[in-house]
Amino acid sequence: MPLTRKAYRAALLHSIADPAEVGIEASYEYFEDGLLVVENGRISAIGPASELLASLAADTEITHYPDALITPGFIDTHIHLPQTGMVGAYGEQLLDWLNTYTFPCESQFADPHHAREVADIFIKELLRNGTTTALVFGSVHPQSVDAFFAAAEKLDLRMIAGKVMMDRNAPDYLTDTAESGYLESKALIERWHGKGRLHYAVTPRFAPTSTPEQLTLAGQLLGEYPDLYMQTHISENLQEVQWVKELFPERKGYLDVYDHYQLLGERSVFAHGVHLCDDECARLAETGSAVAFCPTSNFFLGSGLFNLPMAEKHKLNVGLGTDVGAGTSFSLLHTLNEAYKVMQLQGARLSPFKSLYLATLGGARALRLEERIGTLQPGTDADFLVLDYHATPLLSYRLKQAKDIAETLFVLMTLGDDRTVAQTYAAGNLVHQR
């Protein structure tokens, strides 16, 4: 295979550590006039353009972005493919919202044609917003996952998804059984897990919709295939927390249900965690599990405020989730705008460099993929974005007043959205151009 080498010249910025652990200044690398060199889908060099240009072969194609910032691709650690068509559904909190809107919407995925159509829209929307990796819930139907993975494979995207397992407390038209959920998941794992840049996630929707038998089999799948992911929801809404206590009176609490069925581990991601306690955060951290922080969804459904400082205290891995469809935007820039407000309401600050970390390297660490994605380090996959400083008249005007990269980054996260993403690259290929 002939070597393909390309270079991209722009301002370059990426996280190299968690600011909560090393301090803000040591957490990022920034090149005001930088060069990113890509060879065969991987990053081979990063540094000041003045130093690297001389080392390039004479025939290297160089793309120059004089008024833009290149960052790693964004990583969404919690999103629902089948809820694309119901974003912005009015007036309910979690449990009523599921019954009124979500379940009827997800039932349409029994039709493979519908699943393919939505998967196409969904992936285009992710890439338009600069998301190059996502941890995705399908519906209960295996064809929802087949459609998503087929579309992702065509573009060589690094994506993780799973079929929802749900054998109780949901409409008959949307439930599997403990046995069928296990067998269908197993067939999908055999078909897709490890194919290209695709990974499978065992996906019990949440404790109330799975019987003990189903949770046991979910744990069994994780034992049978050691590098699988596991995704579910936890402690999103107070009514839900109470319901779990009633359904599992023998367990100490919500997290203990999952712990009992051996669903905690290094590739386990729990969405929301708004009402976790100190002990639960400590246990999640101890098992290497991660939490997906979903601010737009938590505001929209009135669920509460995620306590990021408590998670940091326990060194718990936290990624960012849009949680579309309760979340109101595919944009992780927009999601970071809301995350900042969640912290403000708790009397805490969210620095723009911590925000960048959450959307990139933090998400990669939550997914145990930091060797592959989440930074611009040489050797990693060339998944990156070009953010346009002149995307909107207001953004352009406001950035002219920015004194440094910290202010520039914060303004991009406050005023930015899908229009800010000029181009998205995955494995070195241009997969979205505004």
CATH number at residue 240: 3.20.20.140
On whether both 165 and 307 belong to a single domain, the answer is yes
On whether both 174 and 310 belong to a single domain, the answer is yes
The whole domain housing 383 covers: 5-72+376-433
Count of the separate structural domains present in the chain:
2
Percent pLDDT > 90 in the chain is 92
On whether both 67 and 95 belong to a single domain, the answer is no
Asked whether the whole model's pTM tops 0.85, one would answer yes
On whether both 291 and 424 belong to a single domain, the answer is no
User: What is residue 156's predicted lDDT score, i.e. its pLDDT?
Assistant: 97
Dihedral, CA of residue 102, residue 107, residue 113 and residue 114, to nearest 10: -20
The answer to whether position 358 is within a domain reads no
The answer to whether position 351 is within a domain reads no
Instruction: Retrieve residue 127's tokens.
Output: 């890439």
Quick one: three-class SS letters along the chain? CCCCEEEEEEEEEEECCCHHHHCCHHHEEEEEEEEEEEECCEEEEEEEHHHHHHHCCCCCEEEEEEEEEEEECEEEEEEEHHHHHHCCCCCCCHHHHHHHHHHHHHHHHHCHHHHHHHHHHHHHHHHHCCEEEEEEECCCCHHHHHHHHHHHHHCCCCEEEECEECCCCCCHHHCCCHHHHHHHHHHHHHHHCCCCCEEEEEEECCHHHCCHHHHHHHHHHHHHCCCCEEEEEECCCHHHHHHHHHHCCCCCCHHHHHHHCCCCCCCEEEEECCCCCHHHHHHHHHCCCEEEECHHHHHHCCCCCCCHHHHHHCCCEEEECCCCCCCCCCCHHHHHHHHHHHHHHCCCCCCHHHHHHHHCHHHHHHCCCCCCCCCCCCCCECCEEEEECCCCHHHHHHHHCCCCHHHHHHHHHHHCCHHHEEEEEECCEEEEEC
On whether both 180 and 289 belong to a single domain, the answer is yes
On whether both 151 and 23 belong to a single domain, the answer is no
On whether both 132 and 275 belong to a single domain, the answer is yes
Q: Which residues contact 37 (CB under 8 A, 6 or more apart)?
A: 5, 6, 7, 43, 44, 45, 46, 52, 56, 60
What is the rounded average pLDDT for all residues in the chain? 96
Per-residue pLDDT for 415 more than 60? yes
On whether both 68 and 82 belong to a single domain, the answer is no
On whether both 210 and 171 belong to a single domain, the answer is yes
Boundary residue ending a domain (272, 305, 330):
330
The answer to whether position 392 is within a domain reads yes
Give residue-wise pLDDT tens across range 204-237. Answer: 999 999 999 999 999 999 999 989 999 999 999 9
Quote the CA–CA distance of 36 and 314 in Å, as a whole number: 35
On whether both 143 and 33 belong to a single domain, the answer is no
**CATH code (residue 11):** 2.30.40.10
Quote the CA–CA distance of 184 and 180 in Å, as a whole number: 6
User: What is residue 2's predicted lDDT score, i.e. its pLDDT?
Assistant: 60
The answer to whether position 265 is within a domain reads yes
On whether both 199 and 295 belong to a single domain, the answer is yes
User: What is residue 257's predicted lDDT score, i.e. its pLDDT?
Assistant: 98
The answer to whether position 238 is within a domain reads yes
Quote the CA–CA distance of 362 and 375 in Å, as a whole number: 10
On whether both 23 and 11 belong to a single domain, the answer is yes
The answer to whether position 346 is within a domain reads no
Per-residue pLDDT for 1 more than 60? no
The answer to whether position 404 is within a domain reads yes
The answer to whether position 151 is within a domain reads yes
Give the position of tokens 């044609």: 113
State mean pLDDT over 377-390: 98
Boundary residue ending a domain (272, 301, 330):
330
Give residue-wise pLDDT tens across range 289-338. Answer: 999 999 999 999 999 999 999 999 999 999 999 999 899 999 999 999 99
